[in-house]
Structure 1
Amino acid sequence: MTSPIAVQPQAADAAASARAPERHRVVIVGGGFGGLEAVQRLSGLPVAITLVDRRNHHLFQPLLYQVATASLATSEVAWPIRSILRRRPDVTTLLATAIGVDADAHRLLLDDGGGLSYDTLILATGARHAYFGHDEWEPFAPGLKTLEDATTVRRRILLAFERAERETDPEQQAALLTFVIVGAGPTGVELAGTIAELARDTLPPDFRNIDTHKARVFLIEAGPRVLAGYAEDLSAYAQRSLERLGVEVVLGQPVSECTADGVTYGDRQLAARTIIWAAGVKASPVAEWLGAPADRAGRLMVAPDLTVPGRPDIFAIGDTVTISAPDGKPVPGIAPAAKQQGRYVAEVIKARLRGEAAPAAFRYKHAGSLAQIGKRLAVIDFGRIKLRGALAWWIWGIAHIYFLIGLRTRLTVAVNWLWIHARNQRSARLITQGRNPPDRPVEP
């Protein structure tokens, strides 16, 4: 016979559980800067958080180009999301791909046919590179948004030198040693400068049959200047610095064709075997999921409190949305903006749960724009304060190291940069082939 004394605690626990209010269910899609910031800021609230991402890692995207140019390893710019949130029992992390939202049923739809019910949904799904209606160019001109993109670009850059070492035809060799970056925003400028330094400073002692100094790096921009979002004097300085590094800057010439053989811009055809796309972005399809208004880039137009119009229980933040800054211009798609939005959304949720007045409308505070040109050169635009040259490079490096996750990563990246600065050596020059046999690269 079961003792009645043993049953009473279980019955009491069940009764207490029945009386306990359910936690507010917050589902966050995307483990980038905005999504993680919202998770961190919701700590301590009576919420049950589910973070959904189709990759298992958080990516420090501002340094992704350094993976693509063999300066840093993938593990130095990405961290497992589960590891970051391991001390948060209120957070459940799911590796899954969101494919839609049933807003009326308060349910996020997943690619495996399942779904997640929510009380509040935060969409931080980011963006991909856009080819302005020419998606057929992507196989020849990969963009740079993910770790997979970065390792693809790194493989193509390094294979170009390897194949040039074996090539006996001068024209084919010249095409292999020609690198084209389309788009002269921060990513394009950083890529162009680093590839030029790779060819000029790092690789010359490694090859016997080619002179890597003869590599040509083209930076092609449809607009009138590089770094169009920066002050004109910093833009002019960046262009001069790139040209001193040997980069051939082409302005006012949109690319009209990308193929396995090269690019066409203006009335010129340029033979090049390595093309990198840094010219535009396209938002994730959340506006389509919700049938909500979007701009030409597909970015969801959100209300001043970052909610989807007519859906106060759905927030959208980061690269996937468009909203105006105090100066009337769109909030830029950069990490500080996404973090500010994630922080703001957490404050709105906190106020709602406590029955308090909602915060004032989201107001973006620009902390400055930073771009590296070379291993000893950078430009920084703080508005009234503008810096360039070596001092800006040191500040750029310190700022990026500060925002990396973990002491070990900060120390590793700092040592790598100092080694590159002092010895011109980049230690991450690994060609990863995936499933392709090493003697049959599939790159065009």
Structure 2
Amino acid sequence: MVSSRTKVLIVGGGFGGLFCARRLGKVDVDVVLLDRAACHVFQPLLYQCATGTLSIGQISRSLREELARHTNVTTLLGEAIDLDTDARVLTARRPDETTFTLDYDVLVVAVGMRQAYFGNDEFARWAPGMKTLDDALGIRRRLFGAFEMAETLPPGPERDSWLTFAIAGGGPTGVELAGQIREMATRALAHEFHSIEPEDARVLLFDGGSCVLSSFAPSLTDKATLALEQLGVELHMGVHVTDVRQDGVTVTPKNGGPAEDHPARTVLWTAGVEAVPFARRLAEVTGAPADRAGRIAVEPDLSVPGHPEIFVIGDLVGRDQLPGVAENAMQGGLHAAASIRRELAGKPRRPFRYRDLGSAAYISRGHALLQAGPVRLAGFLGWLGWGFIHIAFLTGVENRISTVATWLATIARARRTDRTFILGGTTSPEHPYTWLKTFHPNMLPVAQAPVDQQP
């Protein structure tokens, strides 16, 4: 028998999609949650996975397992690629390139954003971003592999380039990566090598602004700058990375001046984001306005103009300068679910109101920033606040317990227990013996999937 209940299709299992599905659990609707990885990833801690502190299992959880108690929610693996708004049918692609369709009464789009290279997608080969578990593991391979490579080389410029790490972007992710790499080099790896001194590793942080963490209060950015400099991070503000190569980067001052080359065999990109292809397809078929990054202009209730049955939530929302943070996605997911429930009860929708609950950024052990309304915390108190916030929103009780235990062990000792990285086998053409496995999706044909980086 065909169900007469409202069919809700949620695309994306991040914070927005997961919170929406949870709130609709046990409601008189049929929910399908479509996700390209079938797991929820706690993105704010990806950098800790990349630098060997946490495992992928501690920052991720199977969506099927998480939603098992909600019998009206079905989880499916697939990537949304097309949409027929008249028929209310979405087309999804399986990992083997075959497709299937899903019909809906209400569509909630929570696909998030992917790394942007501002028209220089070829940079992705040498400068991976960090949006997925694959990205984090790829960066882990490059970070720890760089020290291993340096150990095999004689003193000189080539070894120095392997011990130089360049980061494009001075936002929270860039700052957290920079701090963690220096902390990793000076603590966890300090006494494990014979030919090199890991403490000599250089971390170069490039950003076009005048300071790091520009979204924070000036007093906090000043403290972050001081903490990074004390760690040994070299800050280069007011510059754009204009070229990325296998052996380094070129940066150009914003206000003019000669370009500078910096030898570095490990480059990481955290400088910008853009909409995934399905989001751009959604804007195309609905006629909804979108900005250069692909964020979609929505109505006050987060629905697409002219299509009240389609909600857009999270990073993809292009109104009111909503921040691209987890809290915005969570609140958007809860709002979409509340709107659906109100309509089922015959009540009108309410406009979405974002409540800024604050921002946090990790610098190093014992030092973080926390900004929530009038509250400004830095140093040890900021670090404690940062820890409580992240544990509170981490999915799964087991993940929370194991993460706290790992953090306590890391505080007590300098060890990083999740440093394993995979280089592949010498006889497998699909898994070559190399750390270079990252490509931006725009560089590949549709039928060819990148090995490590997904949108």
Instruction: Give the TM-score, by structure 1 length.
Output: 0.92
Task: Describe how 1:26-41 pairs up with structure 2 within 5 A.
Answer: 26-41=8-23
Task: Describe how 1:352-367 pairs up with structure 2 within 5 A.
Answer: 352-359=343-350, 361-367=351-357
Match of 1:197 in 2: 183
Q: 1:43: Cα distance to partner?
A: 2.3
Q: 2:389 aligns with which of 384, 387, 399?
A: 399
Match of 2:436 in 1: 443
CA contact (8 A) 2:26 2:71 kept: no
Task: Describe how 1:254-269 pairs up with structure 2 within 5 A.
Answer: 254-266=240-252, 267-269=259-261
Secondary structure class of the residue paired with 2:271: coil
Asked if 1:316 is matched to 2:295, the reply is: no
Match of 2:403 in 1: 413
Distance 1:94 1:363 in 2: 30
Task: Describe how 1:27-426 pairs up with structure 2 within 5 A.
Answer: 27-111=9-93, 112-266=98-252, 267-285=259-277, 286-291=279-284, 292-324=288-320, 330-359=321-350, 361-426=351-416
Distance 1:293 1:48 in 2: 30
CA contact (8 A) 2:13 2:35 kept: yes
Secondary structure class of the residue paired with 1:254: strand
* Change beyond 3 A, Cα 1:284–1:142: same
* Change beyond 3 A, Cα 1:281–1:236: same
CA contact (8 A) 2:423 2:435 kept: no
* Change beyond 3 A, Cα 1:370–1:195: same
Secondary structure class of the residue paired with 1:207: coil
Match of 1:433 in 2: 423
Distance 1:239 1:154 in 2: 25
Secondary structure class of the residue paired with 2:10: strand
Distance 1:441 1:184 in 2: 28
Deviations 1:396-424 (A, max 9, x none): 11111121122221111111111111211
Distance 1:70 1:370 in 2: 21
CA contact (8 A) 1:283 1:321 kept: no
CA contact (8 A) 1:27 1:120 kept: yes
| Larger-Rg structure | 1
Distance 1:90 1:298 in 2: 32
CA contact (8 A) 1:103 1:290 kept: no
Distance 1:140 1:415 in 2: 35
Secondary structure class of the residue paired with 2:57: helix
Distance 1:406 1:24 in 2: 29
* Change beyond 3 A, Cα 1:435–1:229: farther
Secondary structure class of the residue paired with 2:151: helix
Distance 2:149 2:211 in 1: 33
List alignment gaps of at least 5 residues for structure 1. Answer: 1-16, 325-329
Distance 1:110 1:290 in 2: 17
Secondary structure class of the residue paired with 1:76: coil
CA contact (8 A) 2:167 2:205 kept: yes
Deviations 1:276-316 (A, max 9, x none): 00100011232333422101111111111101110011111
Distance 1:39 1:113 in 2: 23
Q: 1:381: Cα distance to partner?
A: 1.1
**Structure 2: which amino acid aligns with 1:57?**
C
* Change beyond 3 A, Cα 1:339–1:284: same
Distance 2:196 2:424 in 1: 27
Q: 1:443: Cα distance to partner?
A: 3.1
Distance 1:190 1:391 in 2: 17
* RMSD of Structure 2 on Structure 1 (CA): 1.5
Match of 2:6 in 1: 24
Distance 1:443 1:108 in 2: 34
Distance 1:80 1:259 in 2: 37
Q: 1:321: Cα distance to partner?
A: 2.0
Query: Which of 254-263 and 411-420 deviates more?
Result: 411-420
Distance 1:318 1:88 in 2: 23
Distance 2:398 2:281 in 1: 41
Distance 2:5 2:426 in 1: 49
* Change beyond 3 A, Cα 1:370–1:281: same
CA contact (8 A) 1:284 1:299 kept: no
Distance 2:280 2:7 in 1: 22
CA contact (8 A) 1:306 1:315 kept: yes
**Structure 2: which amino acid aligns with 1:443?**
L
Instruction: Give the TM-score, by structure 2 length.
Output: 0.90
**Structure 2: which amino acid aligns with 1:156?**
R
Q: 1:358: Cα distance to partner?
A: 1.8
* Change beyond 3 A, Cα 1:442–1:416: closer
Secondary structure class of the residue paired with 1:427: coil
Q: 1:347: Cα distance to partner?
A: 0.9
Distance 2:435 2:88 in 1: 45
Q: What is the number of equivalent residue pairs in this alignment?
A: 420
**Structure 2: which amino acid aligns with 1:38?**
C
Match of 1:11 in 2: none
Secondary structure class of the residue paired with 1:161: helix
